[in-house]
Structure 1
Amino acid sequence: MLTTGALRAHLLAARLAGPVATSRESSLRSYRLFAARDPRLLLGLDPERGWGEGELLGLMASKCGVSADPAHVRGPDVIDPERTVAALGAFAERLGAAAGARSPVLFGTGHPHRLLEFYASLARALSAAGCVVLTPAQGVGVDMATRFGVRPHRIDYVRGVALVREGGARSAACAPGAHSHSPLPVRMALGALAEAGDPLPELVVGDHGWVCGAGQLGVEAIGLADTDDPALFVGEAEGRVAVTVPLDDGVRSDYYRPLIRYVLHRARLPGRQEWP
Structure 2
Amino acid sequence: MTAPGRTPAGRPPVTRDALRDHLLRTRLAGPEVPTPRQNNLRHYRLFAQADPKALMGLDPERRWDEAAVLAMMAARVGVDPDPRYTEGPDTIDPERTLDALDRLAALLRATADARGTVLAGTGHPQKLPGFHGALVRALEAAGCRVHAPVRGLRFREPTPEGERGRITDAVGAVTVIRDLDGYPEFAAGRSGGARGRGGTAAGELRHTHSPQPVRLTLAALADAGHPPPDLVLGDHGWLCGAGRLGIPAGGLADCNDVAPFAAEEEGTVAVVVPVDDGSAPACYGPLSDYVLQRADLAL
Residue number in structure 1 paired with 2:104: 91
Moved runs in structure 1, 4+ residues, more than 6 A?
none
- For 2:282, the aligned partner's letter is D
State the partner residue of 1:23. Answer: 36
How has the CA–CA distance of structure 1 residues 169 and 55 changed in structure 2, closer, same or farther, with 3 Å as cutoff? farther
Taking structure 1 as reference, are residues 158 and 137 closer, same or farther at Cα in structure 2, changes over 3 Å only?
A: closer
Distance 1:144 1:135 in 2: 22
Aligned to 2:3: none
Aligned residue for 1:192? 220
The separation in 2 between residues aligned to 1:147 and 1:226, in whole angstroms, is 21
In 2, Cα distance between equivalents of 1:94 and 1:141: 30
Query: Aligned-pair distance for 1:158?
Result: 5.0
Pair 208,162 (structure 1): closer, same or farther in 2 beyond 3 Å: farther
| Equivalent residue number for residue 155 of structure 1 | 171
Paired AA for residue 111 in structure 2: A
Q: What is the one-letter code of the residue matched to 1:180? A: T
Alpha-carbon distance in structure 1 between the residues aligned to 2:94 and 2:298: 26
Task: Out of 200-209 and 185-194, give the one that drifted further.
Answer: 185-194
Counterpart of 1:274 in structure 2 is: none
Equivalent pairs counted in the alignment come to: 270
Q: Which amino acid aligns with 2:250?
A: I
Counterpart pick for 1:173 among 187, 196, 201: 196
**Corresponding residue for residue 291 of structure 2:** 263
Asked if the contact 1:90/1:243 (under 8 Å) is kept, the reply is yes
Deviation at 1:112, TM superposition (A): 1.3
Structure number with the higher strand fraction is 1
State the match for 2:254 in structure 1.
226
Q: How far 1:171 sits from its partner (Å)? A: 5.8
TM-score (norm 2): 0.86
Given that 1:112 and 1:163 are in contact with CA atoms closer than 8 Å, whether structure 2 keeps it comes out as no
Mapped partners of 2:187, 2:100: distance in 1? 24
Task: Specify the alignment match of 2:85 in structure 1.
Answer: 72
* Cα distance, 1:87–1:143 mapped onto 2, change above 3 Å: same
How far apart, in 1, do the equivalents of 2:174 and 2:80 lie?
37
Secondary structure (helix, strand or coil) at the match of 1:114 reads coil
1:128 touches 1:270 (CA, 8 Å); kept in 2? no
CA–CA distance in 2 between the matches of 1:162 and 1:46? 28
| Aligned-residue offset at 1:123 | 1.1
Give the TM-score normalised by structure 1.
0.93
Separation in 2, partners of 1:137, 1:268: 30
Deviations 1:71-116 (A, max 9, x none): 1011111010000000000001101111111100000001111111
Same amino acid, percent of matched pairs:
50
Name the structure 2 match of 1:56: 69
Superposed CA RMSD in Å reads: 1.8
| Displacement of 1:169 | 9.4
| Runs (5+) with no aligned partner, structure 2 | 1-12, 177-184
Cα distance, 1:162 vs structure 2? 5.1
Query: Is the CA contact 1:107–1:162 (under 8 Å) kept in the aligned structure 2?
Result: no
Find the residue that maps to 1:146 and give its secondary structure: coil
1:10 to 14, 22, 27: 22
| 8 Å CA contact 2:119, 2:173 repeated in 1 | no
Aligned residues of 1:27 and 1:228 also touching (Cα < 8 A): yes
- Amino acid in the other structure paired with 2:27: R
